[in-house]
Amino acid sequence: MPAPDVLIRARGLAKSFGGAVAVAGIDFDLHRGEAFGFLGPNGAGKSSTMRMIGCVSPPSGGELTILGLDPVADGPAIRARLGVVPQEDTLDVELTVRENLLIYGRYFGLPREVIAERTARLLEFVQLTDRAADQVDPLSGGMKRRLTIARSLINEPEILLLDEPTTGLDPQARHAVWDRLYRLKQQGVTLVLTTHYMDEAEQLCDRLVVMDRGKIAAEGSPRDLIGRYSTPEVLELRFDPAEHQQAADKLAELASPPGADGGAPALGPARPAQALAERLEVLADRVLLYTRDGDAALAAARGLGLEPVTFLVRRSTLEDVFLRLTGRQLED
Amino acid sequence: MTWSFAVREFRYWLTNYRRTWRGSIYSSMLNPLLYLGAMGIGLGTLVDAHGTARLGGLSYLAFLAPGLLAAAAMQAGVEESTYPVLGSVKWRRTYYAATASPLRPADLFHGHLMFTVMRLTMNSAIFLAVMAAFGAIASPWALAALPAAVLTGLAFAAPVEAWAITVTKDASFALIFRFGMIPLFLFSGTFFPITQLPAWLRPLAYLTPLWHGVALCRSLTLGTASAGGALAHVIYLAAVAAVSIAAGNRSYRRRLYV
- What letter does residue A36 receive in the DSSP assignment? E
- Clarify whether residues A75 and A177 are in a common domain: yes
Confidence of residue A208 (pLDDT cuts 50, 70, 90): very high
Distance of alpha carbon B237 from its chain centroid, rounded?
11
- B178: Cβ contacts below 8 Å, ≥ 6 apart: none
Burial of B67 (0-12, 13-18, 19+ CB in 10 A): buried
Residue closest to B101 by CA, chosen among A232, A249, A307, A152:
A152
- Clarify whether residues A63 and A192 are in a common domain: yes
- Clarify whether residues A133 and A242 are in a common domain: no
How far, in Å, CA of B249 to CA of B226, rounded? 35
- Clarify whether residues A125 and A31 are in a common domain: yes
pLDDT of residue A3: 61
Sort strands A159-163 and A190-195 into parallel, antiparallel or unpaired: parallel
Residue B1 has pLDDT above 80, yes or no: no
Q: pLDDT for B144-195, tens place per residue? A: 999 999 999 999 999 999 999 999 999 999 999 988 999 999 999 999 998 8
**Contact with chain B for residue A88, Cβ under 8 A:** yes
- A144: Cβ contacts below 8 Å, ≥ 6 apart: A89, A91, A136
- A155 chain-B contacts, CB cut-off 8 A: 101
With helix as H, strand as E and coil as C, how does A174-243 read? Answer: HHHHHHHHHHHHHCCCEEEEEECCHHHHHHHCCEEEEEECCEEEEEECHHHHHHHHCCCEEEEEECCHHH
- Measure A201 CA to nearest chain B CA, in Å: 24
* Chain A residue with the nearest C-alpha to that of B16: A95
- Clarify whether residues A67 and A146 are in a common domain: yes
Q: How many CB pairs under 8 A join A and B?
A: 71
List the domain range (segments joined by +) for residue A119: 6-220
pLDDT of residue A256: 58
Q: Are A285 and A224 in contact (CB under 8 A)?
A: no
- B127: Cβ contacts below 8 Å, ≥ 6 apart: B28, B31, B32, B68, B69, B72, B149
How far, in Å, CA of A316 to CA of A319, rounded? 8
- Measure B9 CA to nearest chain A CA, in Å: 7
Return phi, psi of residue A289, to 5°.
-110, 120
pLDDT of residue A260: 43
Report the half-sphere exposure of A247 (CA within 13 A, side-chain side).
28
How far, in Å, CA of A309 to CA of A332, rounded? 33
Q: In what order do the strands lie in the sheet with A35-39?
A: A82-85, A159-163, A190-195, A35-39, A207-212, A215-220
**Of the candidates A220, A255, A290, which is a domain's last residue?**
A220
- Clarify whether residues A257 and A175 are in a common domain: no
* pTM of the predicted model as reported, rounded to 2 decimal places: 0.89
How far, in Å, CA of B145 to CA of B69, rounded? 9
- Measure A34 CA to nearest chain B CA, in Å: 21
What is the average pLDDT value for chain A, to the nearest integer? 88
Q: Are B68 and B32 in contact (CB under 8 A)?
A: yes
> What percent of chain B is modeled with pLDDT above 70?
99
**Residue A323: inside a domain, yes or no?**
no
**Residue A42: inside a domain, yes or no?**
yes
**Residue A107: inside a domain, yes or no?**
yes
Mean pLDDT (whole number) for B48-57 = 82
* Chain B residue with the nearest C-alpha to that of A17: B258
How far, in Å, CA of A136 to CA of A150, rounded? 13
Q: In total, how many domains does chain A have?
A: 2
Residue type, A62: G
Confidence of residue A257 (pLDDT cuts 50, 70, 90): low
**Residue A114: inside a domain, yes or no?**
yes
Q: Are A193 and A163 in contact (CB under 8 A)?
A: yes
- Clarify whether residues A261 and A189 are in a common domain: no
pLDDT of residue A74: 96
- B175: Cβ contacts below 8 Å, ≥ 6 apart: none
How far, in Å, CA of A199 to CA of A192, rounded? 16
Query: How high is the ipTM of this complex?
Result: 0.89
CATH number reported for the structural domain that contains residue A54 in this entry: 3.40.50.300
- B12 chain-A contacts, CB cut-off 8 A: 103, 106-107
- Measure B244 CA to nearest chain A CA, in Å: 23
Residue A30 has pLDDT above 70, yes or no: yes
Mean pLDDT (whole number) for A186-204 = 88
**Residue A18: inside a domain, yes or no?**
yes
- Measure A54 CA to nearest chain B CA, in Å: 7
Mean pLDDT (whole number) for A141-160 = 95
With helix as H, strand as E and coil as C, how does A123-134 read? Answer: HHHCCCHHHCCC
**Of the candidates A220, A243, A261, which is a domain's last residue?**
A220
CATH number reported for the structural domain that contains residue A296 in this entry: 3.30.70
Which among B93, B96, B102 has the least Cβ separation from residue A107?
A: B102
How far, in Å, CA of B229 to CA of A261, rounded? 87
Q: How far apart are the first and last CA of chain B?
A: 24
pLDDT of residue A265: 45
**Residue A321: inside a domain, yes or no?**
no
**Residue A180: inside a domain, yes or no?**
yes
- Clarify whether residues A11 and A90 are in a common domain: yes
**Contact with chain B for residue A56, Cβ under 8 A:** yes
Distance of alpha carbon B131 from its chain centroid, rounded?
17
> What percent of chain A is modeled with pLDDT above 70?
91
- Clarify whether residues A275 and A193 are in a common domain: no
Cβ-based interface (< 8 Å): residues of B facing A: 4-5, 8-9, 11-12, 15-16, 19, 92-94, 96-104, 256-258
**Residue A102: inside a domain, yes or no?**
yes
Hey, are the CB atoms on B99 and A77 less than 8 Å from each other?
Answer: no
- A140: Cβ contacts below 8 Å, ≥ 6 apart: A173
Residue B215 has pLDDT above 70, yes or no: yes
Helices B105-133, B142-164: inter-axial angle, 10-degree rounding: 140
Q: pLDDT for A274-321, tens place per residue? A: 467 888 888 888 999 999 899 998 988 888 888 899 999 998 888 888
- Clarify whether residues A139 and A242 are in a common domain: no
- A90 chain-B contacts, CB cut-off 8 A: 92-94, 96-97, 100
- Clarify whether residues A245 and A204 are in a common domain: no
pLDDT of residue A223: 87
- Clarify whether residues A247 and A211 are in a common domain: no
How far, in Å, CA of A90 to CA of A245, rounded? 50
What is the average pLDDT value for chain B, to the nearest integer? 94
How far, in Å, CA of A64 to CA of A70, rounded? 7
Residue A64 CB neighbour total at 10 angstroms = 22
**Of the candidates A163, A189, A220, which is a domain's last residue?**
A220
How far, in Å, CA of A38 to CA of A49, rounded? 9
How far, in Å, CA of A293 to CA of A8, rounded? 40
* Chain A residue with the nearest C-alpha to that of B90: A90
How far, in Å, CA of A303 to CA of B230, rounded? 100
pLDDT of residue A45: 93
